[in-house]
Structure 1
Amino acid sequence: MTDDLLGRHRSVLPDWLALYYEHPIEITHGEGRHVWDADGNRYLDFFGGILTTMTAHALPEVTKAVTEQAGRIVHSSTLYLNRPMVDLAERIAQLSGIPDARVFFTTSGTEANDTALLLATTYRRSNTVLAMRNSYHGRSFSAVGVTGNRGWSPTSLSPLQTLYVHGGVRSRGPFAGLDDYDFVAACVDDLKDLLGHTRPPAALIAEPIQGVGGFTSPPDGLYAAFREVLHERGVLWISDEVQTGWGRTGEHFWGWQAHARGGPPDMLTFAKGIGNGMSIGGVVARAEIMNCLDANSISTFGGTQITMAAGLANLNYLLEHDLQGNARRVGGLLTERLRAAAAHVPAVREVRGRGLMIGIELTKPGTDEADPAVASAVLEAAREGGLLIGKGGGHDTSALRIAPPLSLNIAEAEEGAAILEDALRSIQ
């Protein structure tokens, strides 16, 4: 059955639509932190549909909200008043930390970032954008144009002039050998030098922790230091919170809060986890920025009633059950457990991350040379052991990405760590 589906997939879908595993699996259902495939195999899910099933599979509160809303009305577009959309927008505006905030809903993180770029370039009357090396911001033409990860940039054509800045990767690059204070100072000096050679950009777009890039991040405070330089020149700061939002990092509700000196970003984008599998993305911006467009606009499927009902139920559950605190506690335990296991595996260059957002970078032992074949081997071995994880990284996809639902408990964290330890040892 799976072989037949794979053949049909390959005959009708694009060749560039990636599939995991030498023998791809069809996931048929899930519950809590577990999923099952079409052959009846049960897996502990440490990737959540690319950080999208944020709370739990088949969460009753979300399932109930979706079912009840579907029985009333599924969709009407933004041309009509929409109570669930206003309700969720009010909650997100308050949680964002951005003053006089306005919220625009989209269907994905790609579309959210695309919208933020439209707003920034219109507001600033500039098509120059700053982005981080090793970054990923989505699949659209403009989002690819600000993506600094060559593995996810199929074209160099772009409607934007993009300039890439140092700092998103702490342990690689020309400043890697510096301590945190000097690293930040060097990156700020580099930014100032770059700005001296170009017309004022519209914005800097940056992920507080780079997702597809392998869960890399700068020292705390880097983006606050950048913001001071940018603010002097009127340049906006867009925080891409598609993967870091909603408490996943444990220490903060938003990733930008690790860089909070000077206040919140001018805009933040979100998606993935808020819908717990439903298609929700969006932008939060100060009113003067959000309202700068002077042409009509709508979103046919952004903010549709059924996705908003899911988002509200999911957000309520997350806050009422302190899943941010759980990410901090269980994520800290899981990270230390993985560091202990990795200490005996020469191919592991680094275990990094925060909360339930953990990366394991693999290289050829004794070098900094990426080893994507070994990363794929560990991914396969983990699946054989009953664990689903992800891959990423800016150096030929040699980082493992671990991002379970935020309701993960200690027993499941221990179980997953043991499977991953066996998978890592299998490559030696």
Structure 2
Amino acid sequence: MTHDLLGRHRAVLPDWLALYYEEPIEITHGEGRHVWDAEGNRYLDFFGGILTTMTAHALPEVTKAVSEQAGRIIHSSTLYLNRPMVELAERIAQLSGIPDARVFFTTSGTEANDTALLLATTYRRSNTVLAMRNSYHGRSFSSVGITGNRGWSPTSLSPLQTLYVHGGVRTRGPYAALSDGDFIAACVDDLVDLLGHTRPPAALIAEPIQGVGGFTSPPDGLYAAFREVLHERGILWIADEVQTGWGRTGEHFWGWQAHGRHGPPDIVTFAKGIGNGMSIGGVVARSEIMNCLDSNSISTFGGTQITMAAGLANLNYLLEHDLQGNARRVGGLLIERLRAAAAHVPAVREVRGRGLMIGIEITRPGTDEADPATAAAVLEAARAGGLLIGKGGGHNTSSLRVAPPLSLNVAEAEEGAAILEDALRSIP
């Protein structure tokens, strides 16, 4: 049955639409932190549909909200007043920390980042954008054009001039051997030098922790130091919180808060986990930035009543059950457990991360050379053991990505860590 579906998939969908595993699986249903495939196999889910099932599969509070809203009205577009959209926007504006915030809803993180770029370039009257090396910001023409990860950027054509900045990867590159303080200083010096050679950019867009890049991050405070330079020149800071938002990092509700001594970013983008599987993305910005467009616009499917109802129920559940605190506590146990397991595996270069956002970098033993084949083998071995994880990394890295739903409990963390330890030890 699965083989037949795979053949049909290949016959009608693009060749570049990636599938995990040598024998891809069809996930048919889920509950809590577990999912089942079409063959009846049960898996502990440590990837959540790419960090999207943020709280739990089949969370009763969310499914009830979706069902009740579907019985009333599913969609009317932004041309009409929409109570669930207003209510969720009010909550997000307050949580963002941005003064006089305005919120615009989209259907994905890609579209959210696309909108942020439109706002920043219009507000600043510049089509030059600063982005981080090893970054990923989506699949649209503009977001591909600023993505600093060669494996996810299929064209060099772009409506934007993009300049790439050092700092997104702490343990690689020309500054890797420096202390954290010297690393930040060197990256700031590089930024200042870069700005001296170009026309004033519109904005810097940066993921506080790089998602597709393998859950890499700079030392805390880098983006605060960058912001001092940017603010002096009127350049905006866009925080791409598509993967880091809503408490996933444990220590902070937003990833930018690890770099926030000068206040919030000018623009924050979000998506993925807020809908717990429903298609929600969005942009939060100061009112003068959000309102800088001088033509009409709508969002046909952004902010539909059914997705907003899901987002409200999901956000309420997350806050009422302190899932950020759970991510900090259980994530801390999980990362230490994985570091202990990886200490005896020569192919593991680094276990890094924060909260329930953990990366395991795989290299050829004794080198810094990426080993994608071994990373893929570990992915397969984990699946065979009943655990689903992800993978990522830039063109010169290969990493496993661990990002369970934020309601993960200690027993499940221990179970997943044991399976992953066996998978890592299976490396020849």
TM-score, scaled relative to structure 2: 1.00
Is 1:23 aligned to 2:2, yes or no? no
Q: Distance in 2 between matches of 1:82 and 1:113?
A: 23
Offset at residue 246 of structure 1 (A): 0.1
Q: Distance in 2 between matches of 1:416 and 1:395?
A: 28
* Counterpart for residue 219 of structure 1: 219
Preserved CA contact (<8 Å) 2:359 2:399: yes
Offset at residue 55 of structure 1 (A): 0.2
Preserved CA contact (<8 Å) 2:85 2:304: yes
Offset at residue 396 of structure 1 (A): 4.9
Q: Distance in 2 between matches of 1:242 and 1:385?
A: 29
1:216-268 CA-partner distances (Å, limit 9, x unpaired) = 00000000000000000000000000000000000000000000111100000
Preserved CA contact (<8 Å) 1:151 1:396: no
Q: Distance in 1 between matches of 2:95 and 2:397?
A: 34
Q: Distance in 2 between matches of 1:197 and 1:396?
A: 28
1:175-234 CA-partner distances (Å, limit 9, x unpaired) = 000000000000000000000000000000000000000000000000000000000000
Preserved CA contact (<8 Å) 1:66 1:310: yes
Preserved CA contact (<8 Å) 2:46 2:388: yes
Q: Distance in 2 between matches of 1:427 and 1:287?
A: 53
Give the SS at the match of 2:239. strand
1:301-348 CA-partner distances (Å, limit 9, x unpaired) = 000000000000000000000000000000000000000000000000
1:252-294 CA-partner distances (Å, limit 9, x unpaired) = 0000000011110000000000000000000000000000000
Preserved CA contact (<8 Å) 1:391 1:397: no
Q: Distance in 2 between matches of 1:320 and 1:396?
A: 41
Alignment of 1:152-301 (within 5 A): 152-301=152-301
Q: Which runs of 5+ in 1 are unaligned?
A: none
1:91-132 CA-partner distances (Å, limit 9, x unpaired) = 000000000000000000000000000000000000000000
Q: Distance in 1 between matches of 2:352 and 2:207?
A: 16
1:337-394 CA-partner distances (Å, limit 9, x unpaired) = 0000000000000000000000000000000000000000000000000000000001
Give the aligned length.
428
Offset at residue 83 of structure 1 (A): 0.1
Is 1:326 aligned to 2:310, yes or no? no
Preserved CA contact (<8 Å) 1:112 1:281: yes
Offset at residue 397 of structure 1 (A): 5.5
Q: Distance in 2 between matches of 1:5 and 1:181?
A: 53
Offset at residue 16 of structure 1 (A): 0.1
Preserved CA contact (<8 Å) 1:372 1:396: no
Offset at residue 395 of structure 1 (A): 3.3
1:135-192 CA-partner distances (Å, limit 9, x unpaired) = 0000000000110000000000000000000000000000000000000000000000
Q: Distance in 2 between matches of 1:424 and 1:189?
A: 39
Give the SS at the match of 2:314. helix
Q: Distance in 2 between matches of 1:339 and 1:377?
A: 19
Give the SS at the match of 2:283. strand
Q: Distance in 2 between matches of 1:221 and 1:283?
A: 23
* Counterpart for residue 408 of structure 1: 408
Q: Which runs of 5+ in 2 are unaligned?
A: none
Q: Distance in 2 between matches of 1:54 and 1:337?
A: 22
TM-score, scaled relative to structure 1: 1.00
Preserved CA contact (<8 Å) 2:74 2:306: yes
Give the SS at the match of 1:99. coil
Q: Distance in 2 between matches of 1:396 and 1:11?
A: 32
